[in-house]
Chain A
Amino acid sequence: MAIATAVRLNQAPRKRRRYRGFASSVWWFVLPALALYVFAVVYPSIRGSLFAFTDWDGVTPNPSWVGLDQFARILTDPNAVVAVRNTLLIAFAVTVIQNAIGLLIALAVNSHIKSRNVLRVIIFAPVVITSIAVGFLWQNLYSPGGGINQMLEAIGLGALQQNWLGDPDIAIWSIIFVVFWQFVGYSMVIFLAGLQGIPEEVLEAAAIDGAGPIRRFWSVVRPLLAPAITINVMLSLIGGLKLFDQVFVMTAGGPGGATNTISTLIYSNAFSLGRFGYAAALAVVLSIFVAVASIIQYRLLALQER
């Protein structure tokens, strides 16, 4: 009802002449999308935020309101502190590594090398493999007698062999490497799309003016690539903050909680431990991280795009 009224109020006469009946009849185009989106995202997200202020265990019909207690609990829970630290580390490290290497590979396969098409297909292939398959594959590769240690042995670097997922200090970096391996192709493709939008003539003109490869990259390519950089940084940052599947499969948060992320901690608190209120508070914290990260990077990159 409210929507219909708003439409009628907003019908400018000029608009009505250009699109006969357009404004008054199209609001229902939005309805199916809006209904499903409200059902699956908006309404449960609002309810989820409210649970964060209760002590709900998932069973009791009437949970009681506990204010900010659950958030205070996060600060004193060693598991949560580690999970928050891991989440930020993964997001930051994956964003930097994946985009830096992804850009280098994109520049390489955008050059005139003959194998460029095959290489693009190979590097992007892991992106389409489901994360849990990737997780199981690497669990095997990282095992003490697995492929990585065998390879180090074979090339004479046997001293570098590690218990890749079993050592609490190393495990988080092992996970970061897997995420990089899996998604660097995604960054590459987006950079590649951006690079292909840069006309050859512009680069040639810069070369004629005496600009070397680095100067050409920094002064010509980089500014034109800004939209691709924006999208890439946003996707890897948000993806890193929400990381769940790979960790769940490879370490389940172990050893001793050393590789928990906020997402795996939400899952175990909600579905194994019955602490729905606490899990909801963790989800709110994760949402705040995602929102803050998005706003900061949007601001920074908007400056760059100018």
Chain B
Amino acid sequence: MKKYTWRTGVLEVGTILVAVLFLIPIYILVNLSFKAPGDQSSTFALPQEPTFQNYIDAWAQGGLGNALINSAIVTGAIVLFTVIFAAAAAYPLSRLGARWSKLTYLVFLAGLLLPAQLALLPLYQTVRDLGLLGTLAGVIIVGVGASMPFSIFLYAGFMRALPAEYEEAAALDGAHAFRTFWSVVFPLVRPITGTIIILTAVANWNDFLTPLLYLSGSNQKTITVAIYGFVGQYGAQWNLIFAGIIISILPILIAYFFLQKYIVQGFAGGLKG
């Protein structure tokens, strides 16, 4: 361990200052959400009479409870299917040297380059023709399909670095491919599974365009679509809007504070792969 010199102290103060600058927008977000509508004081001044009323009103008027449940269902389902399908697909793609597996892997990788905007219009039509418009199932199917390239890319990289001896031992013991995958390989790739869960969850909880397209006009809304509609409806009532925004980001922020130490670890694992 190095000594704490005066230079370290200067660095510390400087970095804290940067972090404080970063926090100013968050401070204003929280501050305004506790101000009564009549409070005309500066954005930075603390509320004259702090109130929870904005939160109560936003919750009651924004349909946020239902939207949070929908977001949880959509995010949970996408994460679950993404992990299972991507891990299963990455296993043979990283282990077989066959022509079809190399080609399939390249097809998946190509998806990293294709912007969602290219698929937007035709996919919208297909989802509509299948009668999935306005359903959570439509958003889930689209979300799982879209998250395959990145997840398979991460899984395959990690699996390639795993020694094959464990699987060979399992195979010698008579385990079939599925058994080997489920009991040997899947537990071994747990670190990268953690990373994929976090990244997929954040991306899909925060996704706006997909649910906007497939759910707008229906009663089913995710939290991002609900907040967008809420702001449109309550125009300049920023106190109310900010309370609604805080309600919408609180679940993911809480999850983040509990899981944050795994995020850096996960990225470190991803870099090696």
Given A26-B177, A41-B146, A41-B149, CB of A266 within 8 Å of CB of B245: no
* B residues less than 8 Å from A151 (CB atoms): 24, 44
What separation, in Å, do the CA atoms of A121 and B257 have in the docked complex?
8
Report Cα–Cα, A201/B242, bound state, in Å.
Answer: 49
Q: Cβ of A7 < 8 Å from any Cβ of B?
A: yes
Interface flag for B152 (CB, 8 Å): yes
B260 lies within 8 A of chain A by Cβ = yes
Contact B121 A129 (CB under 8 A): no
* Residue from B16, B23, B120 in contact with A270 in the complex, judged by beta carbons closer than 8 Å: B120
**What 0/1 pattern do residues 30 to 61 of A give for CB contact below 8 A with B?**
10111011111111110111010000001000
Residues of B within 8 A of A267 (CB): 209
Check B19 against A119 for contact (C-beta < 8 Å): yes
B117 pairs with A283, CB closer than 8 A: yes
Q: CB-nearest residue of chain A relative to B16? A: A115
Binding site secondary structure of chain A: helix
A5-25 with Cβ < 8 A to chain B: 6-7, 10, 15, 18-23, 25
In-complex Cβ contact of A112 among B4, B149, B171, B245 (8 A): B4
User: In the bound complex, how far is the Cα of B209 from the Cα of A266, in angstroms?
Assistant: 12
Find chain A residues with CB under 8 A from B119 CB: 40-41, 44-45, 48
Q: Mark A272-306, 1 if CB is under 8 A from B, else 0.
A: 00001001101110110011001000000000000
- Contact yes or no, A33 B98, CB < 8 A: no
Give the residue name and chain of the B residue nearest to A40 (CB): B145
Can you name 27 A-B pairs with beta carbons within 8 Å?
A6-B99, A10-B98, A15-B96, A20-B174, A27-B100, A29-B181, A30-B93, A30-B104, A33-B86, A40-B123, A42-B111, A44-B126, A49-B118, A105-B15, A119-B15, A119-B19, A121-B260, A127-B202, A129-B206, A130-B205, A140-B32, A193-B267, A263-B115, A266-B117, A267-B209, A283-B118, A283-B121
Chain B residues whose C-beta falls within 8 Å of the C-beta of A271 in the assembled complex: 213
Residue of A nearest to B170 (CB): A19
Main secondary structure on chain B at its contact with chain A?
A: helix
Q: From residue B60, how far is it (CB to closest CB) to chain A in Å? A: 20
CB nearest to A294 among chain B residues? B113
Interface size on A, residues (CB 8 A): 102
Chain A residues with CB under 8 A of B32: 140
The yes or no answer to A92 lying at the interface (CB within 8 A) is no
Q: In the complex, what residues of A have CB within 8 A of residue B15's CB?
A: 105, 108-109, 113, 115, 119
